[in-house]
Amino acid sequence: MSEVIDVASDPGPSRPVFEVALEAQDLDCEIRVNDIPVLRAKVGRVLTAFDVNPCVMSGDNTLTLAVRPPRDGEYSAGAMAKVALRRRASPEHEEADLLAGLAFSGASANASNGFEESPGYATEEPPQVRFRGVSATQKVSFETPFTPWSWTTSPPVRVNEETRAELFAAYQRVWRLMRARDIDALVKECAYQAADYKVAYYLSSDDEANRLLGVAQTFADPDVEIDDLDDTDLEVEKIAGGRLVQLVDKEGKSPLRLRVRDNDRLTGRFVCVFARTAGGFRIAR
């Protein structure tokens, strides 16, 4: 039985903000909310907090923390990571309620005791610990004001060569639009994501949601250039129980690469996470 957080009894504003807070050092880590990657961080010290409204839903939710040693296959004595899933009553509120949390200590880094410091570890249902590097998942149940997201009714994707080819064709379609700077068509490609963001961020219009996604701003900039799309060494990554999928390269990143003209150090990726619809694969995140 998962822990139930009674947020429905809060009589405050009905625009809650769900956020993840991370403190980590001297390791690589990945955070997922409901099996959706929300942050991948490399070696160093990280102290950050950011909203995850489009990832949470009413009912059971999960918070996952996966960690890996940065070098030599061993964790340093100071390696650590603490992640919390929190709820603020509204964007204006500073105080936040803790919904779920995970803590990792490199000094005892193995699947049996690396996560012992996690809140609730000794309760009836401890975090589920799995080897993938080292990872743990905590389940928590709460209510949100959001309607089900566009992808939640999509069928789980079975990964095979046919699926990979179909997914790569969807990436090619998006890449061609990027190269052509067909902003109207790119905005249409992101319609499912924009509709979800409109709900998640309490926006009043589709235009506001599209501005938040930033597609038009990015591809209207003449200094933003689009690299070639290479099919080499791309793997299908299943997300959210397989209802969402994406292609990733050896670095675990999107194959849609962007760069700024005359500045080789300014590069980025256009991230596309797809769901299967009646019309084929469409961008959902």
List, for residues 78-129, the tens digit of each pLDDT value.
888 999 999 999 999 999 999 999 998 876 555 556 787 777 776 666 777 7
Instruction: Decide if pLDDT at 252 tops 60.
Output: yes
Q: Give residue limits of the domains in the chain.
A: 3-142, 161-283
Residues 6+ apart with CB under 8 A from 121: 115, 127
Q: Bridge-partner residues for 4, per DSSP?
A: 141
Q: Which amino acid, residue 137?
A: T
How much is the pLDDT for 11? 44
CATH topology for the 161-283 domain: Nuclear Transport Factor 2; Chain: A, (3.10.450)
Identify the three-state secondary structure at position 139: strand
CA dihedral 18, 216, 240, 114 (to 10 degrees): -60
Considering only residues 269 and 76, tell me which one the structure prediction assigns the higher pLDDT. 269
Cα–Cα distance list, 94 to 17, 119, 217 (Å): 10, 22, 30
Identify the three-state secondary structure at position 66: strand
List, for residues 2-51, the tens digit of each pLDDT value.
444 444 444 444 799 999 999 999 888 999 999 999 998 887 889 999 99
Closest among 52, 82, 77 to 67, alpha carbons compared: 82
The region of weakest confidence among 57-61, 81-85, 122-126, 269-273 is 122-126
Report the half-sphere exposure of 270 (CA within 13 A, side-chain side): 29
pTM for this entry: 0.85
Closest among 143, 149, 71, 84 to 119, alpha carbons compared: 84
Confidence of residue 135 (pLDDT cuts 50, 70, 90): confident
CA angle 198, 245, 21 (to 5 degrees): 60
Cα–Cα distance list, 146 to 151, 199, 274 (Å): 13, 7, 20
Pair type for strands 3-4 and 134-142: parallel
